[in-house]
Amino acid sequence: MNLIRRLWRRLMEIGVYEGEPNAQAGKRRIVIGYMFFGQLRWLFSLDSFSQGTTVVGWTDLAAASISLLSLFVLRVRPSWFTAIMNLLLFTQIAEVLVQTVALGGIIRAEGLMLFGMLSVIGALIVFSARGAFLWFLGYLVSLVLAVVLPEYIEPLYQVEGSAAGIAFVAASVAAFLFFGMAYFVRQRDRFQQESDDLLHNILPDEIATRLKTDTSMIADDFPQASVLFADVVGFTPMSTTMTPPELVGLLNDVFSKFDEFVEELGLEKIKTIGDEYMVAAGVPVPRDGHAEAIAELALRIRDHMAETTFNGHRLEMRIGIHSGPVVAGIIGTHKFAYDLWGDTVNTASRMESGGIPGAIQVTPTTHELLSGNGYAFEPRGTIEVKGKGHMNTWLLVGRN
């Protein structure tokens, strides 16, 4: 069995090329499978020769040879895939038309024209709907010819169609239709899953689910939440000495680790703006202990940055936290994102921008929520907060 699997995988690799899209690879494999099973025509031709229907046998041999030759051509010329597919579709329709006329019509030929439907299904799988429609028209023309020509051309062979033969043709076509539709269903499900995964990467799971089932505006009020802002100290002047790949790579290294912390703690990453990172606790699902959860994230970020060097750079973060009511929702229909608004957000941002490098600055509200829960603080004193006036703030230094 392992040998068969390896051989089958090798067969499916015919025509593969670097950078081939997944969708194109799926179509190519279906066509290769069709060409492979098309070699059964060699057996059909032997049966036809034994029954004296030599024209039918020769057309089977010709079609089988074209399929086999197409496999070799596809192996050395993957870019010829479209031309090869068109040749196979034409061969399929021409083969059954010639056989049907030679045997005296659709009934006597036991419905061989039904095999021509496979060309239409194959075109639907590989080409666009417009391209498939042209092949559908071609098949209809062949059906008309299969009905009209036997009226003017004497059959080459005197045969009578059998129920068993018609059943075999119907079963073969049904099998191809089933597997063709199964391919479409799998493709649809895969694309839907990729779309869902992308949506869930952009939005919180709860919001993504609502967005798919509810077309109304998403705007929620959360009476209690905590918001954290973190900013890389001195990043702007440092970025002027870095190449674009170095700049993006450094931020990716920093924020990817933060993302891990956020996921582990069950928090919600809201966005990154340049070198600034924004997270919330208590949205989109309210939770008790939102201040504790966001404080834990702040400590992990601070400690991680103190212990880690990024491409030879030692970085520090300014971190600010505030707790209170927020409004959360989605605005717009293009490049939309889940965002937060309100005084709590603005104040948390002020805690970060007016903070101390390597320290975590919190407001009196957050300090009150965390006091008595095992956290250690140092008073920073009174500072001027834009839009708020004077405020007593605290520095979260660790756990007791």
Map out the domains of the chain as residue ranges.
2-200, 218-399
Lowest mean pLDDT among 23-27, 359-363, 367-371: 23-27
pLDDT at 161: 61
Question: Is a pLDDT exceeding 70 seen at residue 48?
Answer: yes
CA distance 215 to 226: 28
pLDDT at 162: 62
pTM for the model: 0.64
In this predicted model, what pLDDT tens digit does every residue of 289-329 receive, in sequence order? Answer: 999 999 999 999 999 998 888 777 788 899 999 999 999 98
Q: With cut-offs at 50, 70 and 90, classify the pLDDT of residue 360.
A: very high
Question: Is a pLDDT exceeding 90 seen at residue 280?
Answer: yes
Higher pLDDT, 13 or 124: 124
Mean pLDDT value across residues 69-84: 86
Higher pLDDT, 314 or 13: 314
Question: Is a pLDDT exceeding 80 seen at residue 148?
Answer: yes
Mean pLDDT value across residues 51-68: 86
Selected from 3.30.930.10, 3.30.420.40, 3.30.70.1230, 3.30.160.70, the CATH number assigned to the domain covering 218-399 reads 3.30.70.1230
In this predicted model, what pLDDT tens digit does every residue of 258-271 receive, in sequence order? Answer: 999 999 999 999 99
Among 34, 30, 32, 190, smallest CA distance to 126 is for: 30
Q: With cut-offs at 50, 70 and 90, classify the pLDDT of residue 47.
A: confident
Among 327, 78, 309, smallest CA distance to 218 is for: 327
CA distance 369 to 118: 69
Mention every residue, 6+ apart, whose C-beta is less than 8 A from residue 350: 320, 385, 386, 387, 388
pLDDT at 1: 64
Higher pLDDT, 8 or 139: 139
Residue 365 amino acid letter: T
Of all residues in the chain, the percent with pLDDT exceeding 70 is: 98
